Chains A and B, each alone.
Chain A
C-alpha cells in the first residue's frame, strides 16, 4: 500500500486562487523540498540580503514594521518579542523554533515542513542572525519523525552549500542549527515547557516572569517562535516590513496558514490574506467548498480546540450582524460572550449530524490527558470535567451537571501557571453557553441521545448560498 506523505493541495489549479501567497507560492514546484530547486526559485535571497546588507537591529525593525504576530496561537507581536531579548555580555542567546504542533485542528506546520522545509531553515538563519544566536534549535514533536528526517536532510544540504556553519557567505557569522525531537506532549508547545523539554526534563511550564527573553534555555536569553512565524520572516526581509503590512487588514497584517478540517468538502491547508470573510472561506470553491455530503453547518471551532466554539450564526456574523472576517480582531469581536479567536488557525467545521456534547467530552479528555499535573485546578479540574461529560454523553447526566461544568471551568481559568488550564476551560464553557439546549436534551432524553443526533440547534440556521448572498448586496 503506498505510503503518502501529505500531498500539496492541488485539487484546484493555482490560477483560481488569486490571493497573494507569501509562503506557499512555490509549493507545487516539483522538487521544491530540495536545496537546488528551492535556491533556483529565489530561495535563500533573504539570507544574502540580511547577512550582507543589514544589521541585526535593522532586521528586528523590519519585523516590527511588518506587524507580524505569533502564528502559533498567541498572536503576540513578533518584533516586540524579539526586542525584549536581553543581551548580557558573555552569555549565549538562543532561538528555538516551536514545531511541536499539537493543537487539535492544526496541521499547517507539518505541511510546511514536509513540502518546503528550506523556507523554515532560511527563516531560522535570518532570525538567528537578527537575535545574535550562534546555535539554534528546531523543536519538532516526536511523532513527526518523517519531518525530522526531512529537516535534517535539508539542514545538511544548506550546510553543504555554505548557508550554515562557520562564516556564512563570508559574513563572519557562524550558526549551527539542530533538530530536537519531543516525546509526545501537547504541553511542550507552551514555550517554557518546551524549554524544559529541550533541557531533557519533564515538560512542566515555568512561572513567568522571568520570561524566556531574560532566562530561557540553560538560563540564557531565548526567543521561542512558531514555524510559520519564522517562515514569514523570509518575505518580510525580501520585500520589506512595509510591504508585508500592506497585506491583510488592520492589526492583522500579512497572510495566515489556515488548517481546515472537519466536515468540509475540501479540507486542507490554505494560505489566506487576513481579512477574508469567514463565509467565503467556508463556502467558496476557492477555499473549503462548503460542507460535505450536502449537510448544513452547525458549529465552527475557528482557531484550534482551545478557542471558544461558535454556532453557525455567530461564526458567519458577529452579534451585531457584521460579516465576520478571518482576522485576529474580527474573530475576537464579542469577547467570550459571542466571539472566539483566530488562535492557531485550526479551523474545524461541524455539520448538523455532529454531537456537541460528545465533541466537548472528546476535547476534555484531550486536555485531561495532556495536563502536566503541576497545578491542582488544571490537574483535578480537567479530570472532573471529563468524567462529568462522559456521564452526560452516555446517558447518566443530571441537570445540575451543566452548571457544575461551568463552575469547574471558571475555577480553572486564570488559576494556573500556564494557559492549558484556560484552554481546557473555554471549550466546555462556550459549548454550554451556545448549545445549552443540546446538553439539556442529553439529560432529559438519555436513551434518545445515544441513538439520535440532536441536529441543528436554533442558532444554526441554514444560510443562503454564496451567490444569493452576493446578489443581495
Chain B
C-alpha cells in the first residue's frame, strides 16, 4: 500500500486495472458507472486516501465526468479526502454503544494517541475518529480498522492498549 501525501503522476497498476475490469462485468453494458463505489474502495486501499488526481483517473477509466466521482467521494463517509494515519481507528459513537462505555473508549484513545479526532500522529502511524452505528451493538463498544475493516469487539481500555501496541510493532 502506498502512503503518499503527494500524487504527481498516478498510474494504476495492471493488477488494479484487472480488478476494475472484473467489477465492470457485473453490470449491463453501458452501466459501468455502477462500478464507482467498488473502484473507490480499491483505490483507497491502494493509496490510503482518495485524492483529486486519483478521482480524475477513476473518472477517465469509467468514462464519466470527474464531478460524478467527486460528488460520490464527498457523499459517502468511508472515503478519506485527506491523508490519514496508516491505521485509522474508527470507533462507533452511536446510542447503544454509548450506553456501555464507547465515549470512555474514545477518550482513552485520544489520551493514548495524543491526537484529536481526525488528526494524524507525528509518526504517521495512527489517526482515529468516531463513526456512526456499525451494526454490532450487542458486542459494544466496537472499533474497526480499514481497508479490510478488521473488527474489534467488547473493547476495554486494556484491549485497546494491546491493540495499539501490536500495531505500533508491526512493520
Q: Which A residues form the contact surface with B (CB < 8 A)?
A: 1, 3-6, 92, 101-107, 109-110, 135, 141-146, 149, 176, 178, 180-186, 197-203, 218, 259-263, 267-269, 301, 305, 346, 348, 350, 354, 358-359, 362-363, 366, 369-370, 372
Contact = CB atoms under 8 A, between A and B. Distances in A.
B17 interface: no
A260 B138 contact: yes
B122 interface: no
B137 A180 contact: no
Contacts of B93: 362
A5 B154 CA distance: 11
Contact of A143 (B64, B78, B137, B139): B78
B149 interface: yes
A146 B136 contact: no
Given A181-B41, A199-B33, A106 B137 contact: yes
25 contacts: A104-B95, A107-B137, A110-B135, A110-B136, A135-B26, A143-B78, A145-B149, A146-B151, A180-B26, A182-B37, A183-B72, A183-B78, A184-B79, A185-B75, A199-B33, A200-B37, A200-B68, A203-B76, A262-B99, A263-B100, A305-B133, A359-B95, A362-B94, A362-B98, A366-B132
Interface in B26-48: 26, 28, 31, 33-38, 40-41
A366 B133 contact: yes
B148 A186 contact: no
A218 B95 contact: no
A106 B98 contact: no
Interface in B91-140: 93-96, 98-100, 131-140
A185 B68 CA distance: 17
B137 A183 contact: no
Contacts of A181: 37-38, 41
Given A180-B37, A262-B99, A359-B95, A202 B72 contact: yes
Contacts, number: 168
A184 B133 CA distance: 10
A269 B137 CA distance: 10
A200 B94 contact: no
Nearest to A202: B75
Given A180-B38, A200-B37, A202-B75, 8 more contacts: A6-B136, A110-B136, A143-B149, A178-B26, A182-B76, A186-B132, A366-B132, A366-B133
B96 A262 contact: yes
B150 A3 contact: yes
Contact of A183 (B75, B132, B133, B166): B75
Contact of A142 (B37, B62, B94, B140): B37
Nearest to B74: A202
Give the residue among B68, B135, B163 with the most A Cβ atoms within 10 A: B135
Top 4 nearest A-B pairs (CB, nearest first) are A183-B76, A261-B137, A184-B78, A184-B77
B92 to A, nearest CB: 9
Give the residue among B68, B132, B133, B159 with the most A Cβ atoms within 10 A: B133
Nearest to B90: A143
Nearest to A145: B149
A342 B83 CA distance: 42
Contacts of A261: 96, 99, 137-138, 140
Given A102-B135, A104-B133, A269-B138, A183 B99 contact: no
B53 interface: no
Contacts of B35: 200
B144 A143 contact: yes
